[in-house]
Amino acid sequence: MIQEFIKEVQTIFSSEQVKLDLEDRIAYGIDASRLQGLPSCVVFPESSQQVSEMLQLASRYRIPIYPRGAGSGMVGGSVPIEAGVVVSFERMNRIIEIDENNMFCIVEPGVVTEYLQNIVSKKGLFYPPDPSSLKFSTIGGNVATGAGGPRAVKYGVTKDYVLAIEAVLASGEIIRTGSMAVKSVVGYDLTKLLVGSEGTLALFTKIVLRLITLPAPTSLMLVTFSDARFAARAVSGVLKSNLVPSAIEFMDEFVISAVSEFGSIRLPEDSKSLLIFEIDDIPEVKHLVIKRIEQVCESNKALSIMIAHDDHEKSKIWNLRRSISPALARIRRGKINEDVAVPRNMLPDLLKVVEDISRKYEIPIPVFGHAGDGNLHVNIMYDPADDRERESAKKATRELFTNVLELRGTISGEHGIGVAKSPFIAMELGNELLQLMWRLKLAFDPLNILNPGKIFMPNKAFIG
């Protein structure tokens, strides 16, 4: 049946838009989670009409469809877990319109996030969402996963900027949700429902994004502490002082040690944690904000405070942040990167939980991330060749989630569920809510051909 389907698909697309070679199928069957699948073919649509015609065929043949952005997801959201078709949107990469007066843009899903930011900034506009993968992740993938990033503390996340979506249902029907007006309350908010749906409800073909005025140039502060809990309390203190930096990033002792050889910044020897504050207020206000942040940090026993105003000093600080992933790879070859989030006042409790779990299972668990909105990346490190560490990593993951939920948090702040977290989703939502979501899924996709096996199906947890 799949071969008959592929023959008909080849009548919709040009020969360059359909890849059947094993090398291509392998390359498009994996994402940043390191989960691996093998699709039957890969297609590269260039228009909404091609997506529509393909999905009509897929419904007729009941062929699974796996939408894909740049493959930068951390939970296997685009991985084909059974024979089917990966739909890569990399060729649908046009910025269709930038409306400077009404401050919105219309883009295709394959537009790279940083590219869009650079283009709109030339017009004095700003698209704030900034996932760590922004240099290569796409708007379609960001919208599908509800991506966040460091700037979320001040500007919010991807869902806060999506005004409208053109999408194709499993039947091939093209729908348009939302409005280009700033306010719209007509009917159910299907736009927000589609954001974060991980390709399980529809395939996006056009996205309307809200833009804002480009902020002032930023200043950075790097503050070190002798205890991670002091840093966490400083975060709460800054935000309770009615100060809203554009980013507040956190690194614990494990991370500082790992990145120390990558950076050119000399930190105090007894630094056990650090915070990076980004401030983008207008110049008349910025120096007052910096001064007040200094005072809050000093009252929470800061060891050192570095303020960067020029590009060279700022790049040195951001280089520390950007070097985390390659630096952690030196600790252990295996890594489970969890993106848990808790209410901000619970950050000290979360750090204590991680410390206890690390000690209990005798494995390193570095922590870094977006302290400004309570979203930290907890990296459970293990040696894949060590059976004890592999098993400990699995147990540590479940124990982390249990404690995060007890702290009134969530098991995913920005990565989504995909395959990797599907065994744990009921811990947070409960079966009744999951069943309701499943009925919504079937209303959009009654044959369950859109990204099947993601979110709902309790797949076997994978630690590679």
Which residue's structure tokens are 């049946």? Answer: 1
The reply to whether 21 and 139 lie within a common domain is yes
The reply to whether 203 and 250 lie within a common domain is no
The reply to whether 226 and 291 lie within a common domain is yes
Domain boundary among 179, 214, 249: 214
Please report the pLDDT score of residue 182 as a whole number: 85
C-alpha dihedral (215, 248, 144, 325), degrees to nearest 10? 120
- Over residues 128-141, the mean pLDDT reads 95
Domain boundary among 285, 300, 321: 321
Mean pLDDT of the chain: 94
3-state secondary structure of 203: strand
Is the pLDDT at 464 greater than 80? The verdict is no
Is the pLDDT at 460 greater than 60? The verdict is no
Classify residue 186 by its DSSP letter.
S
Is the pLDDT at 320 greater than 90? The verdict is no
Domain boundary among 355, 387, 406: 406
Which residue's structure tokens are 């699948």? Answer: 37
The reply to whether 300 and 375 lie within a common domain is no
- Over residues 260-277, the mean pLDDT reads 87
- The burial class, CB within 10 Å (0-12 / 13-18 / 19+), for 182 is exposed
Is the pLDDT at 463 greater than 50? The verdict is no
- Over residues 183-187, the mean pLDDT reads 92
The reply to whether 263 and 127 lie within a common domain is no
The reply to whether 160 and 282 lie within a common domain is no
The reply to whether 272 and 136 lie within a common domain is no
**Euclidean distance between the first and final Cα of the chain, in Å?**
32
The reply to whether 317 and 389 lie within a common domain is no
Handedness of CA 16, 20, 22, 27 (dihedral sign): positive
DSSP string, 77-127: TT---SS-EEEE-TT---EEEEETTTTEEEE-TT-BHHHHHHHHHTTTEE-
Counting other chains too, the contacts that 282-291 makes at CB distance below 8 Å and 24 or more residues apart are 282/216, 283/216, 286/216, 286/219, 289/243, 289/245, 290/219, 290/221
Q: Is residue 445 part of a domain?
A: no
Spatial distance between the Cα atoms of 64 and 343, rounded to a whole number of angstroms: 38
Which residue's structure tokens are 């927000």? Answer: 192
The reply to whether 104 and 146 lie within a common domain is yes
Among candidate residues 235, 212, 219, the one with its CA nearest the CA of residue 286: 219
Q: Is residue 419 part of a domain?
A: no
- Over residues 329-346, the mean pLDDT reads 92
Percent of the chain with pLDDT strictly greater than 90: 88
Query: In the numeric block, which tokens belong to residue 197?
Result: 């749906």
CB 450 within 8 A of CB 443: no
Is the pLDDT at 424 greater than 90? The verdict is yes
3-state secondary structure of 252: strand
Domain count, the chain: 3
DSSP string, 258-312: HHTTT------TT--EEEEEEE---HHHHHHHHHHHHHHHHHTTEEEEEEE-SHH
Return the bridge partners of 410, or none: 341
3-state secondary structure of 160: helix
Confidence of residue 321 (pLDDT cuts 50, 70, 90): confident
Give 281-313 pLDDT, tens digit per residue. Answer: 999 899 999 999 999 999 999 999 999 978 989
What lies within 8 Å, CB to CB, of 51 at 6+ separation is: 45, 87, 168, 203, 205
Give 140-155 pLDDT, tens digit per residue. Answer: 999 999 999 999 999 9
More confident residue, 325 or 69: 69
The reply to whether 96 and 228 lie within a common domain is no
Is the pLDDT at 192 greater than 70? The verdict is yes
What lies within 8 Å, CB to CB, of 244 at 6+ separation is: 153, 154
The reply to whether 286 and 362 lie within a common domain is no
CB 212 within 8 A of CB 125: yes
Please report the pLDDT score of residue 457 as a whole number: 67
Beta-carbon-side half-sphere exposure of residue 205 (alpha carbons within 13 Å): 21
The predicted model scores a pTM of 0.94
Find the radius of gyration of the CA atoms of the chain.
23
Which residue's structure tokens are 């060279």? Answer: 312
Return the number of other C-beta atoms located less than 10 Å from residue 310's C-beta.
Answer: 9
CB 170 within 8 A of CB 449: yes
CATH number of the domain enclosing 91: 3.30.465.10
Classify residue 232 by its DSSP letter.
H
Q: Give exposure, 276-299, as e/b (b: 16+ Cβ within 10 Å).
A: bbbbbbeeeebeebbeebbebbee
CB 31 within 8 A of CB 4: no
Q: Is residue 284 part of a domain?
A: yes
Please report the pLDDT score of residue 263 as a whole number: 66
Please report the pLDDT score of residue 383 as a whole number: 95
| Structural domain of 84 | 1-214
Is the pLDDT at 92 greater than 50? The verdict is yes
Q: Is residue 359 part of a domain?
A: yes
Please report the pLDDT score of residue 322 as a whole number: 81
CB 76 within 8 A of CB 31: yes
**H-type alpha helices, 132-269:** 139-145, 152-155, 190-194, 228-240, 253-259
CATH number of the domain enclosing 247: 3.30.70.2190
Q: Is residue 416 part of a domain?
A: no
The reply to whether 230 and 349 lie within a common domain is no
Please report the pLDDT score of residue 265 as a whole number: 84
